[in-house]
Amino acid sequence: MSTLAHFAEVVDEAARTATAIPQFTESGPLGVEDAYAVQALSMERRFARGEKLAGVKMGLTSRAKMIQVGVNEVIWGRLTDAMRLEEGGALSKKRYVHPRIEPELAFLMKRELCGTVSPAEALAAVEAIAPAMEIIDSRYRDFKFALPDVIADNSSSSGFVVGPWGRPDQDFSNLGIVVEVNGRVVQIGSTAAILGHPLRSLVAAARAAASIGGLKPGWIVLAGGATAAHPLSVGESVRTSVQNLGSVSIKVAE
C-alpha cells in the first residue's frame, strides 16, 4: 500500500469511528497536491460503502484566514448524501471528534459549471440559494494540524444542513447573518465575508471541481464560513438566520 493510500485509510477510519489521529505532517512532508490525492482516495472508500457525491464545500474563503495560513487560494472538499442532516433535526455529537458549526450560503446548481467562469456565468448556473450551516470536524488530536492535513481530511467537512431555498436573482452580496445558540447570539456577520461576495466562491468552486468533471446539476455548493465556527456541545440548539433568506436550525444530541 502506498503512503497516500495508507493516509486515506487512516483518515477514513478516523472519520468513520470518530477517533482522533496524529497529524500526517508530523511524520514527514505532505504537499497540497498529495493531500488532495489522499482526500480523493478516502472519499472513494466512502463511495464504495454506498455514499453518493452531492456537491462540494469551499474553505478558507476569508482573506484573513488565507493570510493566516499563507495561501492565496481557497481549499475545497466533497459533500455526500450521508453528510446531509435534516433541517430542524438533531445531530449526534458522538459521531464527531471536535465538531464545530459555521454559517454558510448554499447554492443549488441547475446546470454544469466547470473551469474558468465569470461571476455572471456562475450565477446563470444556479437554481436557488439558501441559508445553511456546515459541521466541520478535524480528526487530528488536540485540534492541531497544518494545511495539507486539513485538505487530506476532506477539508474538515463532516456534515451540513440547508434551510429554505430562495431565488438566486436577488442581491446576496452583503446580507446580515446572526447565529444563535439556545436563543443567545454567538456570532454576527455578513455574506460579504465570503471572499467579498459569495459568487466569487462559486467561481472558485467551478475551477476547483474541474479536476472531478465540474459541478453537476442538483449538486449543493457551500460557499464557505461567514463567521468563526462555534464549538458544539450536547443540548445546544443552533439557529442561523440570513437576512431576506430565512433561517436554518439543528439540535445537538448525545
Work out the pLDDT band at 67, boundaries 50, 70, 90.
low
At 26-40, the pLDDT tens digits run 988 999 999 999 999
Q: What is the mean pLDDT of residues 136-159?
A: 92
Q: What is the mean pLDDT of residues 174-194?
A: 96
Backbone angles phi, psi at 214, to 5 degrees: 90, 170
Give dist(CA 25, CA 146) in Å, integer.
7
Work out the pLDDT band at 69, boundaries 50, 70, 90.
low
Q: Are 7 and 128 in contact (CB under 8 A)?
A: no
Work out the pLDDT band at 73, boundaries 50, 70, 90.
confident
Question: Given this model, what pLDDT does residue 144 score?
Answer: 87
Q: What is the mean pLDDT of residues 16-22?
A: 95
Work out the pLDDT band at 22, boundaries 50, 70, 90.
very high
pLDDT exceeds cutoff 80 at 103: yes
Whole-number mean pLDDT of the chain? 94
At 112-136, the pLDDT tens digits run 999 999 999 999 999 999 999 999 9
Cβ neighbours of 218 (radius 10 Å): 12
pLDDT exceeds cutoff 70 at 198: yes
Q: What is the mean pLDDT of residues 144-158?
A: 93
Helix H, strand E, coil C: the string for the chain is CCHHHHHHHHHHHHHHHCCCECCHHHCCCCCHHHHHHHHHHHHHHHHHCCCCEEEEEEECCCHHHHHHHCCCCCEEEEEEHHHECCCCCEEEHHHCCCCEEEEEEEEEECCCECCCCCHHHHHHCEEEEEEEEEEECCCEHHHCCCHHHHHHCHHHEEEEEECCCECCCCCCCCCEEEEEECCEEEEEEEHHHCCCCHHHHHHHHHHHHHHHCCECCCCEEECCCCCCCEECCCCCEEEEEECCCEEEEEEEEC
Q: What is the pTM for the complete model shown?
A: 0.95
Looking at domain 3-253, its CATH architecture is Alpha-Beta Complex (3.90)
Work out the pLDDT band at 70, boundaries 50, 70, 90.
low
Question: Given this model, what pLDDT does residue 143 score?
Answer: 85
Domain residue extents for the chain: 3-253
